[in-house]
Amino acid sequence: MSREILLLVDALAHEKNVAREVIFTALELALASATKKKYDAGVDIRVEIDQETGEYQTFRCWTIIGEEEYENPEAEILTTDDRAKDLEINDVIKEPVDSVEFGRIGAQAAKQVILQKVREAEREQILNDFLARDEKLISGQIRRMERGNAIIEVGRLEALLPRDQMIPKENLRVGDRIRAVLIKVDQVPRGPQLILSRTAPEFLISLFELEVPEIEEGLLEIMSASRDPGLRSKIAVKANDQRLDPVGTCVGMRGSRVQAVTSELAGERVDIVLWSMEPAQFVINAMAPAEVMSIVVDEEKHSMDLVVGEDHLAQAIGKNGQNIRLASELTNWELNILTEEESDQKTQDEYTSSSQLFIEKLDVDEDVADILVNQGFTSIEEVAYVPIEEMNQIEEFDEDTVNELRSRAKAAILTEAIANEEKIPEPADDLKNMDGMDVDTAKLLASKGIVTMEDLAELSVDELLDLIKLDEDKAKELIMTARAPWFA
């Protein structure tokens, strides 16, 4: 029988032009499937064929798992089982069993498994060849519609254009030739599935790359894009050759290039924005055609407050907030629109808040607090740790005043840290002394409300990992140790 297996493998590998390993895998599955019929449902049977001799062995297998995942006693055993001694989670125990004879297995069933594996291998080879070409923009014909989704024929492959990835209100029909961008490859039971999109910003970028040769030549670069599919979009462009006008180049002669893109996007209006390495200038460009009077940048929150005149307010926000939303996505900054009156009020509120903070925490009068705010200080930490040379440059303060302010600021920070630490409960002895637990982890758990072993035992692995950063295996070990008294 071993010689028969080798002859079959070689014949199929040659006939179907797939690797011998694929045929061996199909045979192992077919033999395992035939063997499973002799056992109860749920058993894990595996067959291993020696690819040199054709000899094969059959094993019944059990996978070692934790208490939470334990579902199938026919193929799983717990870590507490005697057979799992000295083994780890996900290790497999193999027990040799009698093999079925190759000649006696259902020939039709074996053939079906083998042919299925061969078809999968062929599809995967075609897909790998396609992906190796790294084609982002895909052109194909709609072969059929399924539940609103379009199945696109792309050469010898089929791709899926989901309904939610179609441009709203566009009417696609069977037989239409369309373009789309590949966004991901899904693994489904029938094999890898190409997923396309006509709404992704990458589709807009790919269309401009197709229409503007200067992009492929490297003279021009698209830095980012944002879209409200079918209605409006923005792209940010940068010239790598200073002789080029990046916006004009993308627009084309009499708007020919941008019109070609708009036509493919079902009339979607495209704003072409000049990219700038200065974030504030980039945001001003992205807000066009609305005019921005001033900008306040908050690096810590990665946000900007944009001050616009009353007559430009509606234009800056756009219909249903469209303009500000697209500009925010394009620049990757959180943008807030304010009128002059709102900006003045916000500035005044922040001034009052900072001044009151210094009066309370540093025990100073209003004049000293106002000086600090006017010099740009907004927090106690800045007073405590900004380079002393900067504070010595404040004309209203002498050296003794500066030192006293810094000393008070550091004392206030320390007092607040001690107060916060006192609020954290101390971990219980059973948690601190638990096998595998260290003091720092116990304190960190206590700060999250997990004070006792019982608290820890009631958590799932995912819940524990959400609370603190831990290796998944370590998290499982701690939870199982905490649960040990349940099984005692």
Q: Are strands 177-188 and 137-146 parallel, antiparallel or unpaired?
A: antiparallel
What is the share, in percent, of the chain residues with pLDDT greater than 90?
17
Q: Which residue has the higher pLDDT, 177 or 110?
A: 177
Instruction: Quick: pLDDT tens for 37-48.
Output: 888 888 898 989
- The predicted model gives 451-471 an average pLDDT of 86
Give the global pTM.
Answer: 0.57
pLDDT class of 208 with cuts at 50, 70, 90: very high
CA angle 53, 55, 56 (to 5 degrees): 140
Q: Are strands 334-338 and 303-307 parallel, antiparallel or unpaired?
A: parallel
Instruction: Quick: pLDDT tens for 291-327.
Output: 888 888 888 888 898 888 887 788 888 888 889 999 9
Residue 106: pLDDT over 50: no
Phi/psi for 382 (5° steps) reads -65, -40
Instruction: State how far the Cα of 437 lies from the Cα of 427, in Å rounded to an integer.
Output: 11
3-class secondary structure for the chain? CHHHHHHHHHHHHHHHCCCHHHHHHHHHHHHHHHHHCCCCCCCEEEEEECCCCCCEEEEEEEEEECCCCCCCCCCEEECCCHHHCCCCCCCEEEEEECCCCCCCCCHHHHHHHHHHHHHHHHHHHHHHHHHHCCCCEEEEEEEEEECCEEEEEECCEEEEECHHHCCCCCCCCCCCEEEEEEEEEEEECCEEEEEEECCCHHHHHHHHHHHCHHHHCCCEEEEEEEEECCCEEEEEEEECCCCCCHHHHHHCHHHHHHHHHHHHCCCCEEEEEECCCCHHHHHHHHCCCCCCCEEEEECCCCEEEEECCHHHHHHHHCHHHHHHHHHHHHHCCEEEEECHHHHHHHHHHHHHHHHHHHHHHHCCCHHHHHHHHHCCCCCHHHHHHCCHHHHHCCCCCCHHHHHHHHHHHHHHHHHHHHHHHHHCCCCCHHHHCCCCCCHHHHHHHHHCCCCCHHHHHCCCHHHHHHHCCCCHHHHHHHHHHHHHHHHC
Q: Are strands 157-161 and 191-197 parallel, antiparallel or unpaired?
A: parallel
What is the share, in percent, of the chain residues with pLDDT greater than 70?
90
Residue bearing tokens 């603190």: 468
According to the model, what pLDDT value does residue 309 have? 82
According to the model, what pLDDT value does residue 103 have? 62
User: Which of 188-192, 293-297, 341-345, 357-361 shows the lowest mean pLDDT across its residues?
Assistant: 188-192
pLDDT class of 122 with cuts at 50, 70, 90: low
Instruction: Quick: pLDDT tens for 415-453.
Output: 887 777 667 778 888 888 888 888 888 888 888 888 899
- The predicted model gives 174-179 an average pLDDT of 88
How much is the mean pLDDT over the chain? 84
Instruction: State how far the Cα of 210 lies from the Cα of 417, in Å rounded to an integer.
Output: 58
- The predicted model gives 66-81 an average pLDDT of 84
- The predicted model gives 66-70 an average pLDDT of 82
Q: Which residue has the higher pLDDT, 193 or 97?
A: 97
Q: Which residue has the higher pLDDT, 330 or 1?
A: 330
**For the range 163-168, what are the long-range contacts, defined as Cβ-Cβ under 8 Å and sequence gap of 24 or more?**
164/199, 165/195, 165/196, 165/197, 165/198, 165/199, 165/200, 166/198, 166/199, 167/198, 167/199, 167/229, 167/230, 167/265, 167/266, 167/268, 168/229, 168/230
Show the tokens assigned to 229: 């599919």
pLDDT class of 188 with cuts at 50, 70, 90: low
Domains, the chain, with CATH or none: 2-123 (3.30.1480.10), 135-197 (2.40.50.140), 343-423 (1.10.150.20), 429-487 (1.10.150.20)
Residue 83: pLDDT over 80: yes
